[in-house]
Amino acid sequence: MTDFGLMQGLLALLLGLDPLRVPLPLQVLGMILDVALATAVVAVVWNALMGIGRMIAETLEVQGAKHRLVIARGLTRHDFDQVRKSIRGWRVMVVRYGTEEYLRALAGEADRHIGRPRHSSGRMRISLSASGEAVLRWSLPVHRRMGTQFRCYIVTRKGGAGFSVLADILKHYDEIEVLQPDLPERTRVYFLLSHFPIIASAEGVRNNYVAPE
């Protein structure tokens, strides 16, 4: 035999046989393993290409939208600093693309994949204007067809004010609805923005929603 496949050669090497004098059963086995290996390689490459294609298509359908929202008015620098002392950062979390109703009843397999839970977070910036307005700025990825569910939260500083104190202060921020924590001593304080629509998940979790443009 003058021609043999990769797996046949490996089998001959493992068994200490002359690659040119491999018995017929081992030749057949080597051929089967070669076909299986080629099939596996093709499947891996195909799945990788499909995954890249989905990522590209998904990226093209998502557009970053910048938001600016006045969440409180008439604040003094002292009022503003009271909150800043207890807060390490303001964050916005993408929950998922699409509404629960659409994903459950109308979406196809591709859109259900796009609408999978995300829970990726980005930074929000807060500043105080000369007229005493607390201005919140952030960028949010919005799906062009399905819209985006999101939720905001505050990361508290170690040793800062407790939840009840912080919640009482934030009640004066007109656009904010502070949510009760599901765990005690949590370092995240979640809140909703009344400026945006609020929708509920199947489990009753409330999130803000930006509709597609």
Q: Distance between alpha carbon 32 and the CA centroid of its chain, in Å?
A: 42
8 contacts: CB under 8 Å, gap ≥ 6: 19, 22, 26, 27, 29, 30, 31, 33, 34
Rounded to the nearest 5°, which phi and psi values hold at 173?
Answer: -90, 105
What own/partner pairs with CB < 8 Å and gap ≥ 24 does 14-17 have? none
Per-residue model confidence (pLDDT) at position 36: 77
Query: Using CA atoms, how far apart are residues 147 and 138, in angstroms rounded to an integer?
Result: 17
* Each residue's pLDDT expressed in tens, for the chain with a length of 213 residues: 445 567 767 767 776 776 666 677 767 777 787 777 778 777 777 666 555 656 665 667 898 899 999 998 888 898 888 888 888 899 999 999 999 999 988 889 889 989 999 999 999 999 999 999 999 999 999 999 999 999 999 988 776 666 777 777 777 788 899 888 766 557 788 999 999 999 988 778 899 999 987
Give the residue numbers spanning the domain of 178. Answer: 64-210
**Same domain flag for 29 and 112:** no
Last residue of a domain, one of 59, 82, 100: 59
**Same domain flag for 98 and 160:** yes
Last residue of a domain, one of 17, 36, 59: 59
103 found inside a domain: yes
Query: Using CA atoms, how far apart are residues 210 and 53, in angstroms rounded to an integer?
Result: 26
How many other C-beta atoms lie within 10 A of the C-beta of residue 30?
Answer: 21
**Same domain flag for 40 and 87:** no
**Same domain flag for 46 and 70:** no
1 found inside a domain: no
71 found inside a domain: yes
Q: For residue 90, list its beta bridge partners.
A: 124, 154
Q: How many residues does the chain have?
A: 213
**Same domain flag for 55 and 142:** no
| Orientation angle between helical segments 6-15 and 24-60, nearest 10 degrees | 130
**Same domain flag for 78 and 182:** yes
50 found inside a domain: yes
- Collapse the DSSP code of 72 into the 3-class scheme (helix H, G, I; strand E, B; otherwise coil) and give the result: strand
110 found inside a domain: yes
How many other C-beta atoms lie within 10 A of the C-beta of residue 181?
Answer: 14
CB 5 within 8 A of CB 31: yes
Last residue of a domain, one of 21, 42, 59: 59
Per-residue model confidence (pLDDT) at position 52: 63
151 found inside a domain: yes
Angle at 33 (CA atoms; ends 27, 34), nearest 5 degrees: 85
Per-residue model confidence (pLDDT) at position 83: 80
Containing 56, the helix (H) or strand (E) segment is helix 24-60
